[in-house]
């Protein structure tokens, strides 16, 4: 994400903090993970905040990737959070593919 989009990202983070009760908990948990914290975010919802984004194109390109990663993480409890994300993201972007 280019630096000039930082205000958009900040508004998105503020939106998540206000409207997603689990976001702060995931953020706090991610800070303490090693090496470096990682949290999963649904970028389809971020793209709705970026006026120049082509959400349909994003969905078309991400669908095969998300499908592949959902398959790869399906049976591994270590990656259950990511698997849940991939399934949810697939469901979220499906509306842009129809």
Give the rounded distance of the alpha carbon of 23 from its chain centre: 11
Q: How many CB atoms lie within 10 A of CB 30?
A: 13
Q: For all residues of the chain together, what is the average pLDDT?
A: 81
* Dist. CA 17–CA 24, nearest whole Å: 6
Residue 88 corresponds to which tokens in the numbers above?
């949810």
What are the tens digits of pLDDT across the range 4-20?
A: 767 877 888 888 888 88
> What pTM was computed for the model?
0.62
What are the tens digits of pLDDT across the range 62-77?
A: 899 999 999 999 999 8
Using only the alpha carbons of the chain, give its radius of gyration. Answer: 14
3-class SS of residue 29: helix
The number of CA neighbours under 13 Å toward the Cβ of 76 is: 10
């Amino acid at each position: 994400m280019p630096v000039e989009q930082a205000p958009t990202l900040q508004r998105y983070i503020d939106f998540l903090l206000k409207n997603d009760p689990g976001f702060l908990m995931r953020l706090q948990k991610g800070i303490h993970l090693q090496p470096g914290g990682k949290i999963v975010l649904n970028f389809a919802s971020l793209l709705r905040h970026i006026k120049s984004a082509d959400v349909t194109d994003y969905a078309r390109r991400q669908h095969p990737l998300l499908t592949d990663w959902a398959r790869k993480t399906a049976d591994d409890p270590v990656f259950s959070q990511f698997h849940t994300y991939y399934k949810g993201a697939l469901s979220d972007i499906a509306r842009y593919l129809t």
